[in-house]
Amino acid sequence: MAAHLILIDALNLIRRIYAVQERPFTQVKQKNNDELSPSTQKQVLFNTQNTCVNALVKIINEHAPTHALAVFDSQEPCWRYQLFEGYKKGRKQMPEHLANKLTDIQDAFMEYGVDSLTSTEDEADDLIATLAVKMALHGQKVTIISTDKGFLPLLSPNIHLYDYFNRRYLDEAHVQSKFNVKYTQLIDFWTLTGDNTNKIEGVSGIGQVNAAKLLNQYGSLKSVLEATDLKESLSDKLTENLDKMELARKLLTLKKDIPLGFNLKDIRLTSLTPSPDVENNVVAINTGNNDYK
């Protein structure tokens, strides 16, 4: 029996649940032009934590993992902000009272045997990518719980992406339907179009339709840039935006080699009793410094 690791994109889950719990009170607040009262905030946070725990239980019951981990972003700006100060510019900040509640939610997760990992300088996405790829290289199954499209380039026979809220896998067919390219072409695709969600700029004038057309015709961005039969105006546009595309690629590409400093057996679900085969398949994630907690 092989191991099956569930990696929960924790803030993706928590913030969506919080938004649903807050919405009825927010609508009243807008009518009265008032702030949420402390007692209302407390109620929303209580409901959020309970709903998050219920979601965790449902995820474990549905996917039956042998191992699980909830991965959190650092509250400090990650390395991408150093590369590009406009990264995620304008995105709504997490309410302070929710940020202060995260430790309680982590403790509640731990009661169900699911530990939490918080980065000091990388994004949760980078940590998840590192874990997922290392597991997949050892032939183990990984399911990432998130609605973040940034994980789609990681898809493989051993890495799956699951949208908990819509109860569906975001798979190769989903990528083809939504973007009209292969999942292996997504980084090239977003390098051309940019990623408005994270305020990453692409090549001006190249939208999703044209980007998909180019990649379907030439196969990769490298081949597009080497093509000799492009219209002169397009060729000039690409040449003029080489630096912008290089930056976009760096921002879009998830790290897969972060030293984590713990072993797979450390995140085995304590509520389960795995077979000896699972323990024999333990993967040494990394022997680097334990810079994460």
The rounded percent of the chain whose pLDDT value lies above 70 is: 89
Residue 290 lies in a domain: no
Instruction: Say yes or no: 205 and 100 in one domain.
Output: no
What is the predicted pLDDT for the residue at 9? 98
Instruction: Say yes or no: 130 and 238 in one domain.
Output: no
Instruction: Say yes or no: 20 and 134 in one domain.
Output: yes
What is the predicted pLDDT for the residue at 273? 37
What is the predicted pLDDT for the residue at 36? 80
What is the predicted pLDDT for the residue at 10? 98
Instruction: Say yes or no: 129 and 228 in one domain.
Output: no
**CATH number of the domain within which 225 lies:** 1.10.150.20
Q: State phi, psi for 65 to the nearest 5 degrees.
A: -75, 160
Residue 180 lies in a domain: yes
Instruction: Choose the weakest-confidence range: 27-36, 53-62, 95-104, 260-269.
Output: 27-36
Instruction: Say yes or no: 240 and 180 in one domain.
Output: yes
Helices (H), the chain: 10-32, 38-63, 79-83, 96-99, 102-110, 124-137, 172-179, 186-193, 208-218, 221-226, 232-240, 242-252, 276-280
**CATH number of the domain within which 51 lies:** 3.40.50.1010
As for how many domains the chain has, the answer is 2
- Overall pTM > 0.85: yes
- pLDDT at residue 28 is higher than 90: no
Residue 191, token pair as written in the block: 């390098």
Residue 279: pLDDT band (50, 70, 90) is very low
For 33, the 3-state DSSP assignment is coil
- pLDDT at residue 244 is higher than 70: yes
Residue 292 lies in a domain: no
How far apart (Å, rounded) are the C-alpha atoms in residues 64 and 275?
Answer: 13
Instruction: Choose the weakest-confidence range: 19-23, 112-116, 284-288.
Output: 284-288
Question: What domain range is 246 assigned to?
Answer: 176-252
How far apart (Å, rounded) are the C-alpha atoms in residues 105 and 8?
Answer: 13
